[in-house]
Amino acid sequence: MFDGLQFQHWQPRLRDDGFVVLTLDRADQRVNALSAAVLEELEQAVERIAIGKPKGVVIISGKQAGFVPGADISEFQEFDAKGIVHDRIRAGQGILQKLAELPVPTVCAIHGHCMGGGTELALACDYRIATSDESTRIGLPEVKLGIYPGWGGSVRLPPLVGAPAAMDMMLTGRGLSAKAARGIGLVDKVVEPAVLLDAAIELGRRGTTRPFKQRALGWATNIWPTRQVLAPILVKQVSRKARKEHYPAPFSLIETWRRSGGTVDARLKAEAKSVARLAQTPTARNLVRVFFLQERLKGLGGKEHGIQHVHVVGAGVMGGDIAAWSALKGFDVTLEDREMKYIEPALQRADKLYAKKVKDDARRSETRARLVADVAGEGVAKADLVIEAIFENLEAKQALYAKAEASLKPDATLASNTSSIALDELAADLKAPERFAGLHFFNPVSMMPLVEIVRHEKMDEATQKRLAAFCRAIGKLPVPVAGSPGFLVNRILMPYLLEAMTCHSEGVPGPVIDKTAVKFGMPMGPIELADTVGLDVAASVGKILADFLGLPIPKGLESKLEHGKRGRKDGEGFYVWEDGKAKKPEVPKEYRAPEDLEDRLILPFVNEAVACWHEGVVEDADLLDAGVIFGTGFAPFRGGPITYARSAGPAKLKARLEQLAGRHGDRFAPRPGWDELIAAGTDSPGP
């Protein structure tokens, strides 16, 4: 059947029972990303199958890493640069449509990750079977790249599982477990990994009849009248989380689905036209860039870290949560504090985390057993990595290090979770400063993806690589930064937060400040963020950086702290908090925000980012943008503060800062670096 064909990426095999097994094992990559070459070979195989008419076809992965992570995003950028995105989308659609039209049963056998184009490939098959392994996840995350499924995913999924479930998958980009996918009808059967191929052959041989309720839901929620009713509801739901001008893809998906009917080909054409248009927007280009920045951070340390036992000193919110997260990710962890009463709250928080993250009772018990209270500090001598997470006091930290070094293994690494103290000062009295670094996590540890690896003059390069590999092992993104006060994220964030508090002290309502920042693209307003971080933490870091950067401390902040109003943790700060949510006061309808409010909030942020780039706080502008996006949530669709400055025009922004300095004070004076940005010829629009 396949005589004369030479495949690089596919391994076709005709079995004695008449079934063809197509095994995808991309030759030049660790994972099966769907490149143009992979799809072209699939097309050749499908054309031969259409002629040969075997008993059936099973598509399966030859990679241990999983099925298919999606399309080859690097090619996506090339197609955009050449202006052939629409042509390539249509080509991909055509190949998968040939698969869908095969006159024999087709089964997609899924183990591990099945994302984006992989899921679209699966949808083009008659049946889908998946393993029950925890690594199996099925999703359509294209919305995170500023587009939506373009190889028929948005056409095939709604009739299969019903519009509500389909739209939830595509609009959120969330991956589903095999069980959840089976629950909505995306997967026909779930089996153990060992029997995946045999079960897939049996499914292809016998087929299956989808429950009437699923078939009825798929039909009823996709007919023209229903689409006209559901679409506005979906738009309203999306609008609560995203603005159309910032993230147009979800809105384009809903609108294309609402108005597109007729034949499959007509709907595929509408999908391709819409997705190709989205792919050429600044949002999509910036989000694709952010994807590659994330991949760069993942690759900084490799996989070898040689760490099994982690000892954390300090069981406060940060230390306790670092310990709990490390245990969740498979490390043996001891958690030290002065008395057991200080450790118990951390263990209770860990139990809540594991209840959410680990559904299997046995595995949850195993995870909890890896986290051990250690008042005596005996874990220091066993640890491969010791993380200090006590309060921000130089002398206290240095005393702790002196004690720890007496017990440390010769090859153990010592790290500090300090958020603001210069690393050279912390390392001044160490016997082995080359094995010491900052390892700065962000709160909440379970949600914030970034960890700053803070360098100092005497640190060994191997220490940085080891810590970067550890970060990846616990699912975090490492970014190496210089050890100056505030490092990268806090240094850039504090001028923004302090200016927001200053505006508040001048009478601008908190909700107005927050709304202005969210309108720009921030995930949370600065007043709500300050309350969330804790006004005590903001004040502590703010004082250090205020001296370093010459920034004023806002009026009223000390008074709140004196009255025990530290924000969310106390139930009151700038806002009153109930059940973890801020109760924002109503703003009088007649109130008008200052016309320069957005500039007062955002430009100090960008101004300090330019200074950090100029000083080399990180290796380059790309790492700076990545660190700030993943550390602060800075509007990803804008590509990061340096990319934003370039696209908005550095000369224009510098002039605006000078105007603000004349109006509000020297804190707005352009920091060093703007002239370099202007001289580099980056004043033209576009990223």
Tokens of 629: 């996006």
Residue 536's H or E segment, with its range, is: helix 535-549
Looking at residue 274, its amino acid is S
**How many CA atoms are closer than 13 Å to the CA of 290, on its beta-carbon side?**
27
Strands (E), 188-330: 189-191, 309-313
Task: Let me know if 440 is a catalytic residue.
Answer: yes
Distance CA 122, CA 119 (A): 5
CB 322 within 8 A of CB 350: no
Distance CA 133, CA 67 (A): 13
Q: Which CA distances in Å does 211 have to 74, 161, 206, 234? A: 40, 11, 16, 26
Lay out the sheet containing 477-481: strands in order across: 371-373, 332-336, 309-313, 385-388, 413-416, 436-440, 450-454, 477-481
Distance CA 669, CA 661 (A): 5
The packing angle between helices 641-648 and 650-664, to 10°, is: 100
Distance CA 108, CA 191 (A): 13
The packing angle between helices 361-369 and 340-357, to 10°, is: 150
The total of other beta-carbon atoms located within 10 Å of residue 687's CB is: 17
Quickly tell me which residue has 């739901």 as its tokens.
237
Distance CA 611, CA 492 (A): 9
Nearest one of 347, 410, 405 to 374, comparing CA atoms: 347
Q: To 10 degrees, the CA torsion angle through 7, 136, 110, 190?
A: 160
CB 551 within 8 A of CB 498: yes
Distance CA 60, CA 179 (A): 19
Which of 111, 113, 440, 456 is catalytic? The answer is 440
Distance CA 454, CA 487 (A): 7
Say whether the peptide bond before residue 54 is cis (omega within 30 degrees of 0). Answer: no
Q: Which CA distances in Å does 11 have to 14, 25, 39, 414? A: 10, 7, 13, 48
Catalytic residue positions, numbered? 440
